[in-house]
Structure 1
Amino acid sequence: MAIFGSIIKSLIDLKESFTTEGEAEKNQEEVLKELLRKAKDTAFGKHYNFEEILESDNIQQEFTRRVPYFDYNKIDKEWWHKYHDGEENVTWPGRPPYFALSSGTTGKSSKRIPVTDEMLESIRNAGIKQVSALSNFDLPPDFFEKDIMMLGSSTDLQKEGDHEEGEISGISASNIPFWFKGYYKPGEEISKIDEWDDRVQKIAETAKDWDIGALSGIPSWMELMLKKVIEYHNLNNIHEIWPNLQVYTSGGVAFEPYEKSFKALLGKPVQVIDTYLASEGFLALQNRPDTSSMKLILDNGVYFEFVPFKPDYIKEDGSLTEDAPVVTLAEVEEDVDYVLLISTVSGAWRYLIGDTIKFTDKEKNEIRITGRTKFFLNVVGSQLSVNKMNDAVQELENQFDIKIPEFVVAAKRSEEDNEYYHYWYLGTEDNADNDKLAEALDNALKNANKNYKVARGKALHGVKVTTIDPNMFHEWNARNKKKGGQVKMEKVMNEEKLQDWQEFLKEQGAIN
Structure 2
Amino acid sequence: MAIFGSIIKSLIDIKDTFTSENNPVEEQLEVLSILLDKAKNTAFGKHYDFAGILESEDIPKAFAETVPYFDYNKLNEQWWSKYHEGEENVTWPGKPPYFALSSGTTGKASKKIPVTQDMVNAIRAAGIKQVSALSHFDLPPDFFEKEIMMLGSSTDLVKEDDHEEGEISGISASNIPGWFQGYYKPGVDIAKIDDWDERVTAIAENAKNWDIGALSGIPSWMELMLKKVIEYHKVDNIHEIWPNLQVYASGGVAFEPYEKSFNALLGKPVEVIDTYLASEGFLAYQNRPGTHAMKLITDNGIYFEFVPFKAEYINEDGSITDNAPVITIADVKKDEEYVLLISTVSGAWRYLIGDTIKFEDVEAQEIRITGRTKFFLNVVGSQLSVNKMNDAVQELEKEYDIKIPEFVVAAKRFEEDNEYYHYWYLGTEDSADNEKLAHSLDEALKEANKNYSVARSKALHGVKVKTISPNLFHEWNAKNKKMGGQVKMEKVMNEEKFKEWENFIAEQNP
C-alpha separation in 1, matches of 2:264 and 2:422: 30
Q: Give the C-alpha shift of residue 23 in structure 1.
A: 1.2
Partner of 1:488: 488
Question: Partner amino acid for 1:142?
Answer: D
Shift of 1:22: 2.0
What per-residue deviation string (whole Å, max 9, x for no partner) do you get for residues 300-359 of structure 1? 000000000000000000001000000000000000000000000000000000000000
Written as runs of structure 1 = structure 2, the 5 A alignment for 1:40-439 is 40-439=40-439
Mapping of 1:459-470 within 5 angstroms?
459-470=459-470
Is contact 2:103-2:481 (8 Å) kept? Answer: no
Residues 181-226 of structure 1: CA deviation (Å, up to 9, x unaligned): 0000000000000001110010000000000000000000000000
8 Å CA contact retained: 1:339, 1:356:
yes
Q: Which amino acid aligns with 2:215?
A: L
- Conserved in 1, the CA contact under 8 Å of 2:208 and 2:241? yes
Q: For 2:332 and 2:5, how far apart are their aligned partners in 1?
A: 41
Unpaired stretches in structure 1, ≥5 consecutive residues? none
1:39 maps to 2:43: no
Q: Distance in 2 between matches of 1:63 and 1:21?
A: 27
Q: How many residues align?
A: 510
Give the distance between the partners of 1:459 and 1:135, measured in 2 at CA.
52
State how far apart, in whole Å, the 1-side matches of 2:311 and 2:21 are. 35
Q: How far off is 1:295 after superposition?
A: 0.3
Identity, % of aligned positions: 78
User: Residues of 1 paired with 2:207 and 2:21: CA distance?
Assistant: 40
CA distance in 2, matches of 1:382, 1:138: 43
Contact 2:43 2:90 in 1 (8 A): yes
Report if aligned partners of 1:472, 1:505 keep a CA contact under 8 Å in 2: yes
2-structure distance, mates of 1:481, 1:25: 39
Cα deviations across residues 383-423 of structure 1 (Å, max 9, x unaligned)? 00000000000000000000000000000111211110000
1:211 touches 1:242 (CA, 8 Å); kept in 2?
Answer: yes
Residues in 1 aligned to 2:480 and 2:194: alpha-carbon distance in whole angstroms: 16
Whether the 8 Å contact between 1:408 and 1:425 is mirrored in structure 2 is yes
RMSD between superposed Cα atoms in Å: 0.5
Q: Secondary structure at the match of 2:352?
A: strand
The CA distance in 2 between the partners of 1:338 and 1:17, in whole Å, is 33
What one-letter code is carried by the residue in structure 2 that aligns with 1:461? H
Shift of 1:482: 2.3
In structure 1, distance between residues paired with 2:480 and 2:399 = 34
Partner deviation per Cα, 1:239-258 (whole Å, 9 max, x = no partner): 00000000000001000000
2:483 partner SS = coil
Residue identity matched to 1:100: A
- Does the 8 A contact of 1:103 with 1:482 survive in 2? no
Measured in 1, the distance between the counterparts of 2:319 and 2:207 equals: 43
> How far is the alpha carbon of 1:483 from its aligned partner?
1.2
Alignment-mate amino acid for residue 418 of structure 1: N
The residue that corresponds to 1:8 in the other structure is 8
1-side partners of 2:251 and 2:495: how far apart?
A: 29
Q: Contact conserved, 1:422 with 1:460, CA < 8 A, in 2?
A: yes
One-letter identity of the residue aligned with 2:383 = Q
Question: 1:481 deviation in Å?
Answer: 2.5
Letter in structure 2 aligned against 1:288: R
SS in 2 for 1:492: coil
Q: What is the aligned partner in structure 1 of residue 19 from structure 2?
A: 19
CA distance in 2, matches of 1:416, 1:156: 52
Task: State the alpha-carbon separation in 1 of the partners of residues 362 and 451 from structure 2.
Answer: 27
CA distance in 2, matches of 1:408, 1:157: 32
Counterpart AA for 1:455? A
Q: Give the Cα–Cα distance (whole angstroms) in 2 for the partners of residues 152 and 411 of structure 1.
A: 33
Q: SS of the residue aligned with 2:322?
A: coil
Question: Structure 1: how far apart are the matches of 2:339 and 2:21?
Answer: 25
Greater shift, 294-303 or 413-422, is seen at: 413-422
In the aligned structure 1, how far is the partner of 2:22 from the partner of 2:147?
Answer: 33
CA contact (8 A) 1:155 1:171 kept: yes
Find the residue that maps to 1:462 and give its secondary structure: strand
Letter in 1 for 2:51: E
Aligned equivalent of 1:456: 456
Displaced runs of 4 or more, over 3 A: none
Q: Mapping of 1:469-484 within 5 angstroms?
A: 469-484=469-484
- 1:435-479 Cα distance to aligned partner (Å, 9 max, x none): 000000000000000000000000000000000000000000000
Q: Distance in 1 between matches of 2:198 and 2:416?
A: 45
Whether contact under 8 Å (1:305, 1:327) holds in the other structure is yes
